């Protein structure tokens, strides 16, 4: 993978060479800076921000303006990673014009390189319209959190032959519509394998096994910063939440005991200047 900015042809080249790529979510400047320094290939400004940063119960409430705000913070930090802005619920579902306009905002205002949107065959014309407007689209199928209630909740998708066939058809239709990549969420590994081997565009999986061309996780899950629930497919690489809590407790205790701030954290002044003030006071 190059040291310069990652591009769509780089992702295709990696698929061709069977070299896996990595993708993580980021929503703010300091996290994006660290992720980029770690040479993660793709950063997604996910609508998962609604849950893991804003505290909502699901991803539906986050608005276009909020997504643009977070995308701007991320792209200010990133030099190398390919940045994708996640289109929020109802930002691409009412008309093609609105979908193109909102997708365009991610590139024009947010500085992103591409957008992602959820849905199968039913959004293929929307994908086509956005791509024709010159905006690269990553499609997201399988478990689509914005329509999870229609899918019967946060469940593995494509478990029987009919449902699996539908996922394969969705993927093909989205590739034909011009999507540069297809994200597969919560689908059985053998189905993700068929999709990955069938498509010429790279796939990226989350809860979709090891056969996808790339892997994505929500950064807050990977870091142990989101405790409301941890899906089976998440691997925690660190317990940053615990480390933060320990630091906050240590700060509180040191403040209480007068240990912090110590002399090295304080600003002093020359004795003679202090003396002048004391004398002034006495007069
Ligand atoms: O919003 C998000 O974080 C996602 C995940 C599937 C990566 O779409």
pLDDT tens digits in sequence order for the chain, 283 residues long: 778 999 999 999 999 999 999 999 999 999 999 999 999 999 999 999 999 999 999 999 999 999 999 999 999 999 999 999 999 999 999 999 999 999 999 999 999 999 999 999 999 999 999 999 999 999 999 999 999 888 888 889 999 999 999 999 999 999 999 999 999 999 999 999 999 999 999 999 999 999 999 999 999 999 999 988 888 999 999 999 999 999 999 999 999 999 999 999 999 999 888 888 866 655 4
For the CA atoms of 85, 101, 73, 38, the dihedral, rounded to the nearest 10 degrees, stands at: 30
Q: 21, 31, 43, 44: which to mutate for ligand 1, most atoms within 8 A of CB?
A: 44
State the pLDDT at residue 280.
Answer: 60
How many helices (H) and strands (E) the chain has is answered by: 11, 8
Ligand 1 nearest-atom number relative to CA 48: 1
**Cα distance between residue 215 and residue 21, in whole Å:** 7
Rounded to the nearest angstrom, the distance between the alpha carbon of 218 and the centre of ligand 1 is 6
Which token pair is 122?
């039913």
Q: Rounded to an integer, what is the distance from CA 136 to the centroid of its chain?
A: 17
Reduce the DSSP state of residue 203 to 3 states and report it: strand
26 touches 32 (CB < 8 A): yes
The residues spanned by each domain of the chain are: 8-238, 243-278
138 CB near ligand 1 (under 6 Å): no
Rounded to the nearest angstrom, the distance between the alpha carbon of 2 and the centre of ligand 1 is 25
Rounded to the nearest angstrom, the distance between the alpha carbon of 242 and the centre of ligand 1 is 24
**Cα distance between residue 186 and residue 148, in whole Å:** 12
**Cα distance between residue 4 and residue 237, in whole Å:** 26
State the pLDDT at residue 281.
Answer: 56
Rounded to the nearest angstrom, the distance between the alpha carbon of 219 and the centre of ligand 1 is 10
State the pLDDT at residue 102.
Answer: 98
Evaluate if pTM is beyond 0.85: yes
Closest by Cα among 143, 129, 68, 133 to 93: 129
Rounded to the nearest angstrom, the distance between the alpha carbon of 134 and the centre of ligand 1 is 23
221 CB near ligand 1 (under 6 Å): no
Return the CATH superfamily for domain 8-238.
Answer: Phosphoenolpyruvate-binding domains (3.20.20.60)
86 CB near ligand 1 (under 6 Å): yes
**Cα distance between residue 144 and residue 149, in whole Å:** 10
185 CB near ligand 1 (under 6 Å): yes
Which token pair is 251?
């700060």
117 touches 98 (CB < 8 A): no
42 CB near ligand 1 (under 6 Å): no
Task: Give me the residue label for tokens 């701030």.
Answer: 261
Ligand 1 nearest-atom number relative to CA 47: 1
Ligand 1 nearest-atom number relative to CA 46: 1
Q: So which residues are the catalytic ones?
A: 185
**For residue 115, what are the CA distances in angstroms to 65, 101, 211, 221, 222?**
15, 12, 23, 22, 23
Ligand 1 nearest-atom number relative to CA 183: 6
């Amino acid at each position: 993978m190059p040291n310069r900015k990652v591009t769509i042809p780089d992702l295709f080249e990696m698929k061709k060479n069977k070299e896996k790529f990595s993708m993580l979510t980021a929503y703010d400047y300091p996290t994006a800076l660290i992720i980029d320094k770690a040479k993660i290939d793709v950063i997604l400004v996910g609508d998962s921000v609604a849950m893991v940063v804003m505290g909502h119960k699901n991803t539906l409430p986050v608005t276009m303006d909020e997504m643009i705000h977070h995308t701007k913070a991320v792209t200010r930090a990133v030099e190398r990673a390919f940045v994708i802005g996640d289109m929020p619920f109802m930002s691409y579902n009412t008309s093609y014009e609105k979908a193109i306009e909102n997708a365009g905002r991610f590139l024009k205002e947010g500085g992103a390189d591409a957008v992602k949107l959820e849905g199968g065959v039913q959004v293929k014309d929307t994908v086509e319209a956005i791509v024709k407007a010159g905006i690269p689209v990553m499609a997201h199928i399988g478990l689509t959190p914005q329509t999870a209630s229609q899918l019967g909740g946060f469940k593995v998708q494509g478990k029987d032959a009919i449902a699996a066939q539908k996922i394969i058809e969705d993927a093909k239709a989205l590739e034909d519509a011009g999507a540069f990549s297809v994200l597969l969420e919560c689908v059985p590994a053998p189905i993700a394998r068929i999709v990955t081997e069938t498509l010429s565009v790279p796939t990226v999986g989350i809860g979709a096994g090891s056969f996808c061309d790339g892997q994505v996780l929500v950064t807050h899950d990977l870091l142990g910063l989101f405790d409301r629930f941890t899906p089976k497919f998440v691997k925690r690489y660190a317990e940053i939440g615990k480390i933060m809590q320990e630091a906050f407790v240590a700060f509180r205790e040191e403040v209480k005991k007068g240990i912090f701030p110590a002399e090295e954290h304080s600003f002093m002044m020359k004795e003679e200047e202090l003396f002048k003030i004391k004398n002034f006071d006495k007069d």
